[in-house]
Chains A and B, each alone.
Chain A
Amino acid sequence: MTPDPAASHTAWAHAPERSNILMLRVMTWISLRPGRRAARGVLHLVAAYFLLFAPASRRASSDYLRRALGRPARWRDLYRHFFTFAATIHDRVYLVNRRFDLFDFEVHGEDALRRLLADGKGLFLMGAHLGSFEVIRAIGRKDTDLRVAMLMHQDNAQKINAMLAAINPEAVQDIIGLGHIDSMLKVRERLDDGCMVGMLADRTPGNDTLYPVQILGADAHLPVGPFRMAALLRRPVVFMTGLYLGGNRYAIHFEPLTDFSAVARGQRDAAVQAAITRYAALLDQYCRKAPYNWFNFFDFWQPAPIAMPPKS
């Protein structure tokens, strides 16, 4: 990951990717053998540990929850926030191992998604560090006609691929590492195949151009890159999130966000900016709807390190 000032605050968020493979294998075994319910007992310990010993994450959580709940956050709110995060990370193990039977998914907006996919040209799925991304990939794996390739930064892609390989070797191939021209051409190829390309569009790798938005009533900045790419490749964009509702329940939402298919070159910048603004509004909406699902444990609401007008 490119150096960024928030790196130390996000250390915990990256912990699963960082953990060594042997430990992960052991965890996977424990999760899959004694079963989900038994393994979840450990999650309470994990949440309590972070609540007590990760002050930077706790501050970020408290700051976020105050905005999302519209009142000061109490200890039980913080605990619930950490627990929700730990639970979604833990559930990945089951999802990657295709244990869809363990979960109760409600899916919203699937018809709209299928309509946009009907012409076989693919589309972009813009997610965020909001809820679980893995549940959406699970939908893609369960229904063979809905295929998702994930686009992410090279370092993360390598770590996550190593992680997936440890959990389930079959799961590896649908990740594209962002970085050079080859990955861009791969994105286009997947789209041309009618595949969906998924991205988490709420964090910048550190050197992306940023665009100012309002989320939960305060200034924040979102990277321009993901939407610029969608505009360049002239595809529809669908917002998505897999919200954890507690127990074994997830609500997966697909919401058509914009369609760049017919945007003329001269209109592109304006269309990209409008799309980012709408993406921010959707983040705002779902943060209020499911406050404990926001997994950016760093100071998200801060002045932009670089404020340049978007390129292209």
Chain B
Amino acid sequence: MQNNQKPTVSSTTDLQREVAELMIECLNLEVTADQITPDAPLYGEGLGLDSIDVLEVALTVSKRYGLQLRTDSADNQHIFSSLRSLSDYIASQRTR
């Protein structure tokens, strides 16, 4: 599916779902999109991802949504802290 317009605020939950599906697919997670709580931490006791998992998610979403991820961004840790913050970031920065 190809999204050419910027999504509106009301589509945020759709986007969260879409990002959750993307994560499940790229990491072969044994959960469904509904089971990923938007505010649960991706690292550690939340989804239990390690930093290499998060790298894989980062590479996948940056390709899918045309994002530029920068190393010197102080926000990276926040962006990848939960499904909600990641989806919010995608919504604001996506180019496709």
Partners in one complex: yes
Instruction: Check: B39 CB closer than 8 A to any chain A CB.
Output: no
Query: Which one of B3-11, B13-21, B52-60 contacts A?
Result: B52-60
A193 to chain B, nearest CB (A): 11
CA distance A58 to B91 in the complex (A): 58
Q: Output the nearest chain A residue to B43 by Cβ-Cβ distance.
A: A180
Q: With a CB–CB cut-off of 8 A, which chain B residues contact A110?
A: none
Question: Contact: A185 with B27, CB < 8 Å?
Answer: no
Q: Output the nearest chain B residue to A265 by Cβ-Cβ distance.
A: B26
Instruction: Check: A183 CB closer than 8 A to any chain B CB.
Output: yes
Partner of B71, one of A178, A185, A228, A232: A185
Beyond A311-B27, A311-B28, A312-B27, whether A183 also contacts B53 by CB under 8 A is no
- Count contacts on B: residues with CB < 8 A to the other chain: 20
Q: With a CB–CB cut-off of 8 A, which chain B residues contact A229?
A: 52, 55
Question: Contact: B27 with A184, CB < 8 Å?
Answer: no
Instruction: Check: A219 CB closer than 8 A to any chain B CB.
Output: no
Beyond A311-B28, A312-B28, whether A184 also contacts B51 by CB under 8 A is yes
Q: With a CB–CB cut-off of 8 A, which chain B residues contact A183?
A: 51
B22 to chain A, nearest CB (A): 13
Most chain B CB atoms below 10 A, which of A182, A186, A228: A182
Instruction: Check: B77 CB closer than 8 A to any chain A CB.
Output: yes
CA distance A311 to B52 in the complex (A): 10
Q: With a CB–CB cut-off of 8 A, which chain A residues contact B71?
A: 182, 185-186, 189
Q: With a CB–CB cut-off of 8 A, which chain A residues contact B53?
A: 311-312
Question: Contact: A207 with B50, CB < 8 Å?
Answer: yes
Question: Contact: A232 with B27, CB < 8 Å?
Answer: no
Instruction: Check: A181 CB closer than 8 A to any chain B CB.
Output: yes
Q: Which of A200-239 touch B at CB < 8 Å?
A: 207-208, 225, 228-229, 232-233
Question: Contact: A228 with B77, CB < 8 Å?
Answer: no
Question: Contact: B28 with A232, CB < 8 Å?
Answer: no
CA distance A277 to B43 in the complex (A): 29
Interface string of B46-79 (1 = CB under 8 A from A): 0000111111101100000000011101001101
CA distance A90 to B26 in the complex (A): 45
B10 to chain A, nearest CB (A): 29
Q: With a CB–CB cut-off of 8 A, which chain B residues contact A311?
A: 27-28, 53
Instruction: Check: A303 CB closer than 8 A to any chain B CB.
Output: no
B binding-site residues for A, Cβ under 8 Å: 27-28, 43, 50-56, 58-59, 69-71, 73, 76-77, 79-80
